[in-house]
Chain A
Amino acid sequence: MLKTITQENNILIILSTIILNYILFLSSSLLILIKLNFILFIFFTLYYFFKYEKNKFLILFLLALIVISLGIPTDSWDARSIWLFKAKEFFYDHSIISIKNNYAEFSHNNYPSIAPAFAAGLSTLIGYWNEIYPKAGLTFMFIPPLIIISRFFDNNFFLISISIILFIIGKFLVNGELDGLVALYFVSSLIIIYNLKNLNNDIFYQCLTLIFFLIILSLLKVEGIVLLLCSFIGSMLIFYKKKYLCKNLIISFFVSIIPVLIWNYFCIYNNIGNTNSNYIFDINDFNNRILYLKNYILIFEYLLLNEKFLFSLIVFLVSTIYIKNKDILIYVSSISLIYILFLFIVYLSTPLDLEWHLNSASRIIKPIALFLSIFSLYSIFNKQHKI
């Protein structure tokens, strides 16, 4: 039976175990299925690497990430107080529904929680909790996007892409925070979308893979939903003339957004979230800041003068000038600009002190920095292969 599983099916199975793990945590009586599902994730990941993955560097890179993740203390605030605390709650309560109690509001109970559920799945399989290994569950989630990167880049180009990922995402690959996952799921989804134009058949599997990637992206962090919407708008701009592709993309995006809409409905219906009024966005804050130039300068400074974003932007501009790939230029710049515009609106509306809130800017801009760099490399790679 295993022989009938194609490479595409294998990737789909790995992705579906991540989503299924989240679904199984909806009930507190499915512990055996959660364990079985996690074993399936490990089995099909190993099977994929054994049968299909010829890129030894990818395997070595993943092993290195897991070793580092298991050898560092979990000490950053977001990792401890939000993501791994949720994982701990799910592990002990055997369910994500217990979040209805809104215990420990500071941990933002209304944030989507597919990644903590996956870490809780690993802990459920192991059978006990500690302060170190559960974050390796989050590192395991890097496997599908890294497989996608490996499928689209060969040899030295793959190594450059890994070096770029290490430069831009860095410690967020292993420290229990989710910004690295958001960036990689976002970029992998965009690579899949961009390549749909090169496919004559097999579009069903690619759209299904895309749906799974987008579902996970939207359930990782709040900005995942925004990135999903930006991807949708950017994709429509380059594919609007290809009706068949457009139809498939519209269906994919609408299917992908359903789970996160259900999650948000569940949170609103049960009044889950941070009830501290200091954290609630208010139009008055936006109105008070919008007319002052100094606010724009401050946001610009934190968001766009970030060294990783600047590096990526320069690389992208240089590659655009030399490669002259109009499609990539429209695709990358439209998605990036929409997201940056959204970030400006969010920061202008923040109920918190603007400068304090802007401390998150270097993390929030990572998906776009990685997007610019990887697509610059991709346009060079495509030119070489004349795709």
Chain B
Amino acid sequence: MMSFQNNNKIKFILVFLIFFQLFYIANKRLAFKTEIFKNSFLKDFGSEYVMTKDILELKEITNDLKLEKFNISEKLSENVFFFQRSIEFLYPIKIDKKSENTFFSSEEEIPNNCIILNQYKHLTLAKC
């Protein structure tokens, strides 16, 4: 048993096994990319790997217009992915049901009580 604990051949096999496991986790279970690692400390980096284009556009618009709060349409709220990811990604800009600035999907019909402020590639901003 003593030889097992300090046996160099076993040590070599175990180190190789651990290296293989790390490689498997990084590349097969998770999508490791050297470009992500290289840029991992850049400000605001990383959203393009996990966010859809409409959410990226939403962030860009709210930043440009310096909105602190905004609202989204019923249809967009029902899209759980869009709703939750936009809350996470846009924070500290918050979703507020009372906000007049309401975003609709570009495919949605805008209600009559709303005035269209601007149309973007994926979204429409209206005052409701």
Binding site for B on A (CB under 8 A): 57, 61, 64, 67-68, 70-75, 80-81, 84-85, 88-89, 92-93, 103-104, 106-107, 126, 128-133, 136, 154-157, 159-160, 162-163, 166-167, 170-171, 173-175, 384
Pick the contact of B88 from A80, A126, A171, A174 — CB < 8 Å? A80
Complex CA–CA separation, A93 to B17 (angstroms) = 44
- What residues of chain B lie closer than 8 Å to A136, measured between beta carbons? 40
Q: Which of B2, B6, B42, B91 contacts A85 (CB 8 A)?
A: B91
Q: Which residues of B pack against A, CB within 8 Å?
A: 1-2, 4-7, 10-11, 14-15, 17-18, 21-22, 25-26, 29-34, 36-37, 39-47, 49-50, 84-85, 87-89, 91-92, 94
6 example contacts (A-B, Cβ-Cβ < 8 A) are as follows A70-B37, A73-B49, A93-B92, A132-B40, A163-B14, A384-B5
Chain B residues within an 8 Å CB radius of A80: 50, 85, 88
* Given A130-B40, A163-B21, 17 more pairs with CB closer than 8 A: A68-B26, A68-B30, A71-B26, A72-B31, A72-B32, A73-B33, A75-B50, A81-B88, A85-B88, A104-B84, A130-B44, A131-B89, A156-B7, A174-B26, A174-B30, A175-B30, A384-B5
Give min CB distance, A122 to chain B, whole Å.
11
Residues of A within 8 A of B41 (CB): 126, 130, 133
B21 in contact with A156 (CB, 8 Å): no
Select B10's contact among A85, A93, A156, A171, beta carbons within 8 Å.
A156
Closest CB in chain B relative to A164 CB, distance in Å: 10
In the assembled complex, which residues on chain A have CB atoms less than 8 Å from the CB atom of B2?
A: 384
- Tell which of B26, B31, B40, B84 has the most Cβ of chain A within 10 Å: B40
Q: Which of B25, B37, B46, B87 contacts A131 (CB 8 A)?
A: B46
Contacts of A93 in B (CB 8 A): 92
- CB-based contact A131/B22 at 8 Å: no
Q: Are A155 and B11 in contact (CB under 8 A)?
A: yes
- Chain A residue at minimum C-beta to C-beta distance from B22: A64
Name the A residues within 8 Å of B1 (CB-CB).
384
* Interface hub of A70, A136, A154 (most chain B Cβ within 10 A): A70
| A132 lies within 8 A of B26 (CB) | no
